[in-house]
Amino acid sequence: MTAKGSASAPTTAATRRYNAFLLLVAGLGGLLYGIDVGIIGGAYPYLEATSGYTAAQLSDIVAAVLLGSVFSTLFAGLLSDWMGRRNLMILSGLAFAVSIPVIALSHGYDSLLLGRLLQGVSAGLVGVVVPLYLAECLSAAHRGKGTAIFQWMLTLGIVAAALVGMYFSYRVEAVAKLADAAALFRFKDHAWRGIFWVSLPPGVLFVLGSLLVTESPRWLFRRGDKQRAYAALLRSRSPEQASLELEEMEASARSAAVTAGQKVKDSLLRRKYVIPFLLACAILSCNTATGVNSLIGYNTGILLQSGLSDLNAHWGYVVFTCVNFFMTTVGMTLVDRKGRRFLFILGTSGIIVSLVSVGILFKITEQDTIDCRAAVQALTGPGQEMTLRFDPAEAQKLLAAVGYTGSAIAPERASLAIIYSYGDFTAATSFVRSDDAAAAPIEINRANCLPANKVEALFQNPFADLNAAQTAPLRIEKAIIGRVPEAGHGWLVALGLYGFMAFYAMGPGVCVWLALSELMPTRIRSNGMSIALLLNQLVSTTLAGVFLPFVSKHGYSSMFFLFACFTVVYFAVAALFLPETKGKTLEEIEAYFESDTAKAN
């Protein structure tokens, strides 16, 4: 199968162009993944202001991408083996392209949630299949470059999503100057839809790029199609390289066949399997428990509540994503020089300091709060529901109703969050600012609080009586009015978030996947990584889903302190149990976990 006469020929211009095209497709895959993660950050404030959804529903919409990726990540390996890497890349791009009109044209909670779930399915598939495809298609000389481009473009996708949100925030500010609340409301509704529409072209380009590349040569070989496998190798390698790699595939297949015929006595309960597996699960769970996905998804909302204007909050989010992009580059230059363990320890240490600092800043402002639940309870309508537009006049009425005479909370710059219940089921609104003229009225009704059926009720509160809640009166548990801080406070919070992102991107953001792929022994790598990644996605989805209800009940400060506590555990795992894997072979790492050194640790 060797090409005589051309076997010694150097790599052709066509081969170099194809390798460059593979890197371009890899970059588009990373860009798509980053947009999947980051697009909600710019759209969220306008969706919140115009949709009338509860805090729990908004949390579901933000977390839906993570939930969708949980399911697709779990089955991505099986799907890629069944239908091929290239076909799965095409499918993932199509899923993203279809999700955009479903989201942008939605006029209800269910369709919007469906679109976000589909977007998450796309993200999960892309995150698995593109790196897998690159590893099997690129030569050894280009494999590291492909992984780097995928990671860089992922962070660039988050930056691009933030810039799109920034563009729309300028337009929103221009409409706001017209002092027409109805026009501003309509444009904000248009803005969040437009942000999603602008993200459609990268998905289309990724599908087109995937159609033009060949299938993975290793997948073709495992399917018994050696001729097509060799042809695929020739597109990215010289003939002699293609022949050599095909021979290696054949030798590996013969070795696997011999091993399969022997009785394997190597127990999966040995230290070299159990300890790295548990360590991998702990690292992946702790990685998202830092709150990184929640802080990306809710970043603009956090900055708005910290005191920044809509425009400045979007600028703050742009800077946040740029810090992520540039510090990822710094981390990738240090990982092979300083080592994985060093960057894990440095990164988690900085994350703890940053989270505690932001928590303290919010704690200072959250001390000035007034609970006016009795005054809000009095506004309940005969149907046990309520519609409340929180503007300066309404803020003044509520503060007067509770006899507030202080000066810390100004009616023209106040925030309100309401926690309410019907029977045994509780819900919470998100924070609304009195100085936001286009904010949607707070809608409190039974439909926004009660689960749709008994199955959902079981998960929400297994001890609750759904039938009794259907007729129970509305009860206002808390109605917290607080002050919206000045812009200076908001920029201090922004600096704390930039510190968080810098240390995360430089440390865990760069090292986590590399370290885990090195930790997992070959025999359990695919299944072990699937389980660890599933735990990662479940933790991330849970945190994103409870973020807004938790903040409404306990404040932003408690959320940041909770993230800091999780990161302390992360620091301890990295400092006490994680070995340095830089410069070690996989066999040396496996031997480490059975050695006296591992036992001593």
Same domain, 87 and 172: yes
pLDDT greater than 50 at residue 546:
yes
How confident is residue 524, by pLDDT bands cut at 50, 70 and 90?
low
Q: Highest mean pLDDT: which of 251-265, 332-346, 398-412?
A: 398-412
Structure tokens at 169: 């925030």
What residues pair up with 483 in beta bridges, in sequence order? 414
Show which of 456, 486, 516 is a domain's final residue.
Answer: 486
What is the value of pTM for the model shown?
A: 0.69
Tens-digit pLDDT profile for residues 243-266: 887 887 777 667 556 555 544 445
Structure tokens at 238: 């010289």
Q: What is the mean pLDDT of residues 524-540?
A: 70
pLDDT of residue 218: 81
- The verdict on residue 361 lying in a domain is no
For residues 279 and 557, is the Cβ–Cβ distance under 8 A?
Answer: no
Instruction: Please tell me the total count of domains within the chain.
Output: 3
How confident is residue 594, by pLDDT bands cut at 50, 70 and 90?
low
> DSSP code of 523?
G
User: In angstroms, how far is CA 330 from the centroid of its own chain?
Assistant: 21
Range of the structural domain that residue 225 is part of: 219-254
For residues 433 and 484, is the Cβ–Cβ distance under 8 A?
Answer: yes
The angle formed by the CA atoms of residues 7, 11 and 15, to the nearest 5 degrees, is 115
How confident is residue 73, by pLDDT bands cut at 50, 70 and 90?
confident
pLDDT greater than 80 at residue 210:
yes
Q: At what angle do helices 556-576 and 340-366 cross, to 10 degrees?
A: 160
- The verdict on residue 205 lying in a domain is yes
pLDDT greater than 50 at residue 412:
yes
Q: How many helices (H) and strands (E) does the chain have?
A: 25, 7
Same domain, 74 and 152: yes
Q: What is the mean pLDDT of residues 301-323?
A: 86
Same domain, 67 and 178: yes
Structure tokens at 335: 């990982």
pLDDT of residue 141: 57
Q: Residue 583 phi/psi, 5° resolution? A: 75, 10
pLDDT greater than 50 at residue 9:
no
pLDDT of residue 440: 77
Mean pLDDT of the chain: 82
- The verdict on residue 537 lying in a domain is no
User: Which of the two residues, 35 and 422, has the higher pLDDT score?
Assistant: 422
Same domain, 248 and 170: no
Of 496, 505, 194, which Cα lies nearest the Cα of 321? 505
For residues 22 and 236, is the Cβ–Cβ distance under 8 A?
Answer: yes
Show which of 157, 185, 213 is a domain's final residue.
Answer: 213
Q: What is the mean pLDDT of residues 125-133?
A: 80
User: Which of the two residues, 163 and 344, has the higher pLDDT score?
Assistant: 344
Percentage of the chain with pLDDT > 90? 25
Same domain, 178 and 227: no
pLDDT of residue 167: 87
CB burial string 387-411: b at 16+ within 10 A, e below: ebebbeebbbebbeeeebeeeebbb
> For residues 29 and 23, what is the distance between their CA atoms, to the nearest angstrom?
10
- The verdict on residue 23 lying in a domain is yes
Same domain, 240 and 101: no
- The verdict on residue 294 lying in a domain is no
Q: What is the mean pLDDT of residues 314-341?
A: 84
Same domain, 168 and 223: no
> For residues 114 and 119, what is the distance between their CA atoms, to the nearest angstrom?
9
pLDDT of residue 264: 47
Q: Which of 29-43, 279-293, 370-384 has the lowest mean pLDDT?
A: 29-43
pLDDT greater than 50 at residue 6:
no
> For residues 253 and 490, what is the distance between their CA atoms, to the nearest angstrom?
60
User: In angstroms, how far is CA 204 from the centroid of its own chain?
Assistant: 22
Residue 341's SS3 state is: helix
Q: What is the mean pLDDT of residues 196-224?
A: 89
- The verdict on residue 95 lying in a domain is yes
Structure tokens at 131: 């790196």
Same domain, 232 and 140: no
In the block, residue with structure tokens 């895959």: 29
Of 177, 289, 156, 194, which Cα lies nearest the Cα of 562? 289
The maximal CA–CA distance of the chain, rounded, in angstroms, is: 94
For residues 136 and 219, is the Cβ–Cβ distance under 8 A?
Answer: yes
Same domain, 147 and 223: no
Same domain, 43 and 171: yes
Residue 340's SS3 state is: helix
pLDDT of residue 379: 92
pLDDT of residue 599: 53
The angle formed by the CA atoms of residues 415, 419 and 424, to the nearest 5 degrees, is 175
For residues 146 and 109, is the Cβ–Cβ distance under 8 A?
Answer: no
Question: How many Cα atoms are found within 13 Å in the side-chain-facing hemisphere of 330?
Answer: 16
pLDDT of residue 270: 64
Structure tokens at 556: 């932003």
Q: What is the mean pLDDT of residues 42-51?
A: 85
pLDDT greater than 90 at residue 494:
yes
Percentage of the chain with pLDDT > 70? 86
Q: What is the mean pLDDT of residues 517-541?
A: 68
Same domain, 373 and 438: yes
pLDDT of residue 290: 94
pLDDT greater than 50 at residue 484:
yes
pLDDT of residue 2: 40
The DSSP line for 69-121 is HHHHHHHHHHHHHHH-HHHHHHHHHHHHHHHHHHHHT--SHHHHHHHHHHHHH
Q: What is the mean pLDDT of residues 134-160?
A: 71
Of 129, 102, 110, which Cα lies nearest the Cα of 32? 129
How confident is residue 7, by pLDDT bands cut at 50, 70 and 90?
very low
- The verdict on residue 43 lying in a domain is yes
Tens-digit pLDDT profile for residues 564-579: 999 999 999 999 988 8
Show which of 486, 514, 533 is a domain's final residue.
Answer: 486
- The verdict on residue 505 lying in a domain is no
pLDDT of residue 272: 66
For 451-504, list the strands marked E by DSSP: 474-483
3-state SS, 208-237, equals HHHHHCCCCHHHHHHCCCHHHHHHHHHHHC
Q: In this structure, what CATH number is given to the domain that contains residue 51?
A: 1.20.1250.20
pLDDT of residue 517: 61
Radius of gyration of the chain, Cα coordinates, nearest whole angstrom: 26
pLDDT of residue 525: 54
Same domain, 100 and 25: yes
